[in-house]
Protein backbone atom coordinates (compact mmCIF):
# COMPACT_ATOMS: atom_id res chain seq x y z
CA UNK A 1 0.00 0.00 0.00
CA UNK A 2 2.88 2.40 0.79
CA UNK A 3 4.42 1.81 -2.61
CA UNK A 4 1.08 2.30 -4.37
CA UNK A 5 0.59 5.61 -2.55
CA UNK A 6 4.08 6.79 -3.57
CA UNK A 7 3.44 5.86 -7.22
CA UNK A 8 0.09 7.65 -7.13
CA UNK A 9 1.67 10.77 -5.62
CA UNK A 10 4.52 10.95 -8.16
CA UNK A 11 2.11 10.65 -11.06
CA UNK A 12 3.81 11.62 -14.32
CA UNK A 13 6.59 13.66 -12.67
CA UNK A 14 10.14 12.53 -13.39
CA UNK A 15 11.34 11.67 -9.93
CA UNK A 16 11.72 9.15 -7.16
CA UNK A 17 9.92 8.64 -3.88
CA UNK A 18 11.25 6.73 -0.89
CA UNK A 19 9.47 5.87 2.35
CA UNK A 20 11.48 4.68 5.36
CA UNK A 21 10.74 3.39 8.84
CA UNK A 22 13.21 5.56 10.82
CA UNK A 23 13.09 3.28 13.86
CA UNK A 24 14.83 0.50 11.90
CA UNK A 25 16.19 1.93 8.63
CA UNK A 26 13.88 -0.32 6.64
CA UNK A 27 12.85 1.06 3.26
CA UNK A 28 9.10 0.59 3.00
CA UNK A 29 8.89 1.72 -0.62
CA UNK A 30 11.25 2.93 -3.33
CA UNK A 31 9.71 4.14 -6.58
CA UNK A 32 11.93 4.60 -9.64
CA UNK A 33 14.91 2.74 -8.21
CA UNK A 34 17.22 3.83 -11.01
CA UNK A 35 16.97 7.45 -9.90
CA UNK A 36 16.79 6.60 -6.19
CA UNK A 37 20.07 4.67 -6.38
CA UNK A 38 21.84 7.10 -8.72
CA UNK A 39 24.79 9.33 -7.80
CA UNK A 40 22.24 11.91 -6.80
CA UNK A 41 22.41 15.62 -7.38
CA UNK A 42 23.13 18.93 -5.73
CA UNK A 43 21.19 18.83 -2.45
CA UNK A 44 20.03 22.42 -2.89
CA UNK A 45 18.60 23.78 0.36
CA UNK A 46 18.25 20.38 2.05
CA UNK A 47 21.98 20.81 2.88
CA UNK A 48 20.80 23.40 5.42
CA UNK A 49 19.80 20.57 7.76
CA UNK A 50 23.43 19.47 8.16
CA UNK A 51 24.59 23.08 8.58
CA UNK A 52 21.89 23.79 11.19
CA UNK A 53 22.85 20.70 13.20
CA UNK A 54 26.55 21.60 12.94
CA UNK A 55 25.97 25.16 14.19
CA UNK A 56 23.79 23.91 17.05
CA UNK A 57 26.34 21.24 18.01
CA UNK A 58 29.12 23.85 18.02
CA UNK A 59 27.06 26.19 20.19
CA UNK A 60 27.10 29.00 17.64
CA UNK A 61 23.32 29.52 17.76
CA UNK A 62 20.10 28.22 19.25
CA UNK A 63 16.80 28.09 17.39
CA UNK A 64 15.76 31.55 18.64
CA UNK A 65 19.17 33.30 18.42
CA UNK A 66 18.85 36.38 16.23
CA UNK A 67 21.66 36.36 13.68
CA UNK A 68 22.57 39.70 12.13
CA UNK A 69 22.50 39.40 8.35
CA UNK A 70 23.42 43.01 7.68
CA UNK A 71 22.05 46.35 8.87
CA UNK A 72 18.86 45.87 10.86
CA UNK A 73 18.15 42.47 9.26
CA UNK A 74 18.07 39.69 11.86
CA UNK A 75 16.77 36.14 11.56
CA UNK A 76 16.42 33.11 13.84
CA UNK A 77 17.15 29.53 12.83
CA UNK A 78 13.45 28.64 13.07
CA UNK A 79 12.54 31.35 10.55
CA UNK A 80 15.57 30.59 8.36
CA UNK A 81 14.68 26.89 8.09
CA UNK A 82 10.99 27.58 7.51
CA UNK A 83 11.66 30.10 4.73
CA UNK A 84 14.94 28.52 3.52
CA UNK A 85 16.93 31.72 3.88
CA UNK A 86 20.20 31.46 1.97
CA UNK A 87 21.98 34.42 3.57
CA UNK A 88 21.43 33.00 7.07
CA UNK A 89 23.05 29.68 6.20
CA UNK A 90 25.86 31.32 4.25
CA UNK A 91 26.60 33.32 7.41
CA UNK A 92 26.58 30.19 9.60
CA UNK A 93 28.75 28.35 7.08
CA UNK A 94 31.39 31.06 7.11
CA UNK A 95 31.38 31.07 10.93
CA UNK A 96 31.80 27.29 11.02
CA UNK A 97 34.44 27.16 8.29
CA UNK A 98 34.86 24.44 5.68
CA UNK A 99 36.61 21.86 7.86
CA UNK A 100 33.84 21.80 10.46
CA UNK A 101 31.10 21.93 7.84
CA UNK A 102 32.61 18.93 6.06
CA UNK A 103 33.22 17.04 9.31
CA UNK A 104 29.56 17.23 10.28
CA UNK A 105 28.27 16.50 6.78
CA UNK A 106 30.38 13.33 6.72
CA UNK A 107 29.26 12.44 10.25
CA UNK A 108 25.64 12.72 9.10
CA UNK A 109 26.28 10.30 6.21
CA UNK A 110 27.12 12.49 3.22
CA UNK A 111 29.95 11.03 1.15
CA UNK A 112 29.09 7.46 2.23
CA UNK A 113 26.81 4.77 0.89
CA UNK A 114 23.56 5.00 2.84
CA UNK A 115 22.35 1.49 2.12
CA UNK A 116 23.46 -1.92 3.29
CA UNK A 117 24.09 -4.20 0.31
CA UNK A 118 21.51 -2.43 -1.85
CA UNK A 119 22.24 -3.62 -5.36
CA UNK A 120 23.11 -0.76 -7.70
CA UNK A 121 23.41 1.99 -5.09
CA UNK A 122 25.84 4.69 -6.21
CA UNK A 123 27.79 7.08 -4.05
CA UNK A 124 27.04 10.73 -3.52
CA UNK A 125 30.16 12.79 -2.84
CA UNK A 126 31.20 15.55 -0.48
CA UNK A 127 34.28 17.39 -1.82
CA UNK A 128 37.59 17.46 0.04
CA UNK A 129 38.24 21.06 -0.90
CA UNK A 130 36.22 24.20 -0.35
CA UNK A 131 34.44 25.78 -3.29
CA UNK A 132 36.57 28.65 -4.68
CA UNK A 133 35.65 32.06 -3.31
CA UNK A 134 34.83 33.22 -6.85
CA UNK A 135 32.03 30.61 -6.90
CA UNK A 136 30.70 31.49 -3.46
CA UNK A 137 33.03 29.54 -1.17
CA UNK A 138 31.84 27.73 1.92
CA UNK A 139 28.78 30.00 2.12
CA UNK A 140 27.47 28.71 -1.18
CA UNK A 141 28.16 25.13 -0.11
CA UNK A 142 26.04 25.71 3.01
CA UNK A 143 23.08 27.42 1.34
CA UNK A 144 22.74 25.45 -1.92
CA UNK A 145 25.06 22.48 -1.48
CA UNK A 146 27.08 23.70 -4.45
CA UNK A 147 29.75 21.11 -5.48
CA UNK A 148 28.11 18.49 -3.22
CA UNK A 149 26.30 15.45 -4.62
CA UNK A 150 23.68 13.89 -2.35
CA UNK A 151 21.58 10.81 -3.05
CA UNK A 152 17.93 10.38 -2.06
CA UNK A 153 19.02 7.53 0.22
CA UNK A 154 21.56 9.74 2.00
CA UNK A 155 18.90 12.37 2.69
CA UNK A 156 16.52 9.63 3.84
CA UNK A 157 19.09 8.25 6.29
CA UNK A 158 19.83 11.74 7.68
CA UNK A 159 16.16 12.67 8.14
CA UNK A 160 15.58 9.26 9.75
CA UNK A 161 18.31 10.06 12.31
CA UNK A 162 16.63 13.40 13.05
CA UNK A 163 13.27 11.62 13.41
CA UNK A 164 14.48 8.84 15.70
CA UNK A 165 16.67 10.85 18.06
CA UNK A 166 20.10 10.35 16.50
CA UNK A 167 20.58 6.78 15.25
CA UNK A 168 22.02 6.71 11.73
CA UNK A 169 20.88 3.36 10.36
CA UNK A 170 22.10 1.62 7.26
CA UNK A 171 19.06 1.64 5.00
CA UNK A 172 17.90 -1.82 3.95
CA UNK A 173 15.37 -2.79 1.34
CA UNK A 174 13.93 -6.25 1.99
CA UNK A 175 11.74 -7.10 -0.99
CA UNK A 176 10.68 -10.72 -0.48
CA UNK A 177 8.59 -12.13 2.37
CA UNK A 178 11.64 -14.13 3.46
CA UNK A 179 13.82 -11.00 3.54
CA UNK A 180 11.17 -9.12 5.52
CA UNK A 181 10.88 -11.96 8.05
CA UNK A 182 14.68 -12.08 8.48
CA UNK A 183 15.13 -8.29 8.64
CA UNK A 184 17.48 -7.01 11.34
CA UNK A 185 18.24 -3.29 11.77
CA UNK A 186 21.89 -2.32 11.28
CA UNK A 187 23.24 0.76 13.05
CA UNK A 188 25.95 2.71 11.25
CA UNK A 189 26.61 5.04 14.19
CA UNK A 190 24.78 6.96 16.88
CA UNK A 191 24.88 10.74 16.48
CA UNK A 192 24.94 12.95 19.55
CA UNK A 193 22.09 15.14 18.31
CA UNK A 194 19.16 14.24 20.58
CA UNK A 195 19.26 17.59 22.46
CA UNK A 196 19.40 19.45 19.14
CA UNK A 197 16.33 17.88 17.56
CA UNK A 198 13.76 20.11 19.32
CA UNK A 199 15.86 23.06 18.14
CA UNK A 200 15.67 22.03 14.48
CA UNK A 201 12.28 20.33 14.24
CA UNK A 202 10.33 23.50 15.04
CA UNK A 203 11.81 25.11 11.92
CA UNK A 204 11.07 21.99 9.87
CA UNK A 205 7.48 22.11 11.07
CA UNK A 206 7.36 25.81 10.29
CA UNK A 207 8.35 25.03 6.69
CA UNK A 208 5.15 23.00 6.32
CA UNK A 209 2.89 25.27 8.37
CA UNK A 210 3.80 28.61 6.78
CA UNK A 211 7.09 28.33 4.86
CA UNK A 212 8.48 26.82 1.67
CA UNK A 213 6.63 23.49 2.11
CA UNK A 214 3.18 24.86 2.89
CA UNK A 215 1.93 23.41 -0.43
CA UNK A 216 1.88 20.05 1.39
CA UNK A 217 -1.07 21.21 3.48
CA UNK A 218 -3.20 21.72 0.38
CA UNK A 219 -3.47 17.94 0.24
CA UNK A 220 -2.99 16.87 3.82
CA UNK A 221 -3.36 18.31 7.33
CA UNK A 222 -4.48 15.36 9.48
CA UNK A 223 -1.19 15.25 11.41
CA UNK A 224 1.95 17.41 11.42
CA UNK A 225 4.74 16.78 8.91
CA UNK A 226 8.20 18.27 9.43
CA UNK A 227 10.57 18.74 6.52
CA UNK A 228 12.95 20.74 4.37
CA UNK A 229 12.60 21.70 0.73
CA UNK A 230 15.37 22.17 -1.80
CA UNK A 231 15.29 23.87 -5.21
CA UNK A 232 18.16 24.51 -7.61
CA UNK A 233 19.29 23.81 -11.17
CA UNK A 234 22.35 22.58 -13.01
CA UNK A 235 22.91 23.25 -16.73
CA UNK A 236 19.20 23.72 -17.30
CA UNK A 237 18.05 20.67 -15.33
CA UNK A 238 15.98 21.64 -12.31
CA UNK A 239 15.97 19.72 -9.04
CA UNK A 240 13.24 19.64 -6.44
CA UNK A 241 13.77 17.97 -3.06
CA UNK A 242 11.64 17.41 -0.01
CA UNK A 243 12.84 15.30 2.90
CA UNK A 244 10.43 14.96 5.81
CA UNK A 245 9.20 12.92 8.73
CA UNK A 246 5.84 12.56 10.44
CA UNK A 247 4.60 11.04 13.67
CA UNK A 248 1.68 9.05 12.28
CA UNK A 249 -0.88 6.95 14.18
CA UNK A 250 1.15 3.92 13.04
CA UNK A 251 4.54 5.27 14.08
CA UNK A 252 7.01 7.50 12.31
CA UNK A 253 7.51 7.61 8.55
CA UNK A 254 10.30 9.37 6.69
CA UNK A 255 9.84 10.30 3.04
CA UNK A 256 12.12 11.70 0.39
CA UNK A 257 10.70 13.04 -2.86
CA UNK A 258 13.32 14.02 -5.43
CA UNK A 259 12.23 15.51 -8.77
CA UNK A 260 14.38 16.21 -11.80
CA UNK A 261 13.26 18.01 -14.94
CA UNK A 262 11.87 21.23 -16.33
CA UNK A 263 9.87 24.20 -15.10
CA UNK A 264 7.41 22.48 -12.71
CA UNK A 265 10.33 20.91 -10.83
CA UNK A 266 11.06 22.62 -7.52
CA UNK A 267 11.02 21.94 -3.79
CA UNK A 268 7.46 23.10 -3.06
CA UNK A 269 6.22 20.67 -5.74
CA UNK A 270 8.04 17.81 -4.00
CA UNK A 271 6.36 18.91 -0.75
CA UNK A 272 2.97 19.00 -2.49
CA UNK A 273 3.47 15.43 -3.73
CA UNK A 274 4.40 14.35 -0.19
CA UNK A 275 1.02 15.66 0.91
CA UNK A 276 -0.59 13.59 -1.85
CA UNK A 277 1.31 10.53 -0.61
CA UNK A 278 -0.06 10.93 2.92
CA UNK A 279 -3.52 11.70 1.56
CA UNK A 280 -3.50 8.45 -0.46
CA UNK A 281 -2.51 6.44 2.63
CA UNK A 282 -5.09 8.23 4.77
CA UNK A 283 -7.89 7.65 2.28
CA UNK A 284 -7.05 3.92 2.18
CA UNK A 285 -7.23 3.75 6.01
CA UNK A 286 -3.55 2.84 6.26
CA UNK A 287 -3.21 4.70 9.57
CA UNK A 288 -6.16 3.02 11.28
CA UNK A 289 -4.96 0.61 13.94
CA UNK A 290 -6.34 -2.76 12.96
CA UNK A 291 -7.37 -5.13 15.78
CA UNK A 292 -5.19 -8.19 16.28
CA UNK A 293 -7.24 -11.38 16.16
CA UNK A 294 -6.24 -14.37 18.27
CA UNK A 295 -7.55 -17.70 17.03
CA UNK A 296 -6.53 -21.17 18.18
CA UNK A 297 -3.38 -19.79 19.75
CA UNK A 298 -2.23 -18.24 16.47
CA UNK A 299 -1.84 -14.49 16.42
CA UNK A 300 -2.82 -12.92 13.13
CA UNK A 301 -4.03 -9.67 11.74
CA UNK A 302 -4.44 -7.57 8.65
CA UNK A 303 -2.11 -4.98 7.24
Domain ranges of the chain: 2-285
Q: How far apart are CA 153 and CA 176, in angstroms?
A: 20
User: Is residue 229 classed as helix, strand or coil in its secondary structure?
Assistant: strand
For residue 192, the 8-state DSSP code is S
Each of the 303 residues of the chain gets a pLDDT tens digit; together they read 999 999 999 999 999 999 999 999 999 999 999 999 999 899 999 999 999 999 999 999 999 999 999 889 999 999 999 999 999 999 999 999 999 999 999 999 999 999 999 999 999 999 999 999 999 999 999 999 999 999 999 999 999 999 999 999 999 999 899 999 999 999 999 999 999 999 999 999 999 999 999 999 999 999 999 999 999 998 889 999 999 999 999 999 999 999 999 878 999 999 999 999 999 999 999 998 554 444 444 444 444
Q: What is the pTM of this model?
A: 0.93
The strand pairing partners of 294, in sequence order, are 299
The strand pairing partners of 251, in sequence order, are 248, 249
Q: Yes or no: say if 106 and 22 are a contact pair by the CB < 8 Å rule.
A: no
- 2-285: CATH topology is Beta-lactamase (3.40.710)
SS3 for 237-279 is EEEEEEEEEEEEECEEEEEEEEEEECCCCCHHHHHHHHHHHHH
User: Residue 207 is inside which H or E element, if any?
Assistant: helix 197-209
User: Residue 177 is inside which H or E element, if any?
Assistant: helix 177-181
Amino acid sequence: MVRAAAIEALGNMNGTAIAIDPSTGRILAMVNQKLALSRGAEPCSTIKLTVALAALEEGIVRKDTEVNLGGHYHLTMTEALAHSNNLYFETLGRQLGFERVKHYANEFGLGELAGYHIQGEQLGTYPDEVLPASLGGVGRMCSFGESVSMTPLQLGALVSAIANGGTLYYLQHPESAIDVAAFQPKVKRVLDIAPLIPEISVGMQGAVQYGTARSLRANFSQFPVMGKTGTCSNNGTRFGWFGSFADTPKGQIVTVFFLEGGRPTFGPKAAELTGEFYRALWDKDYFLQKPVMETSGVVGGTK
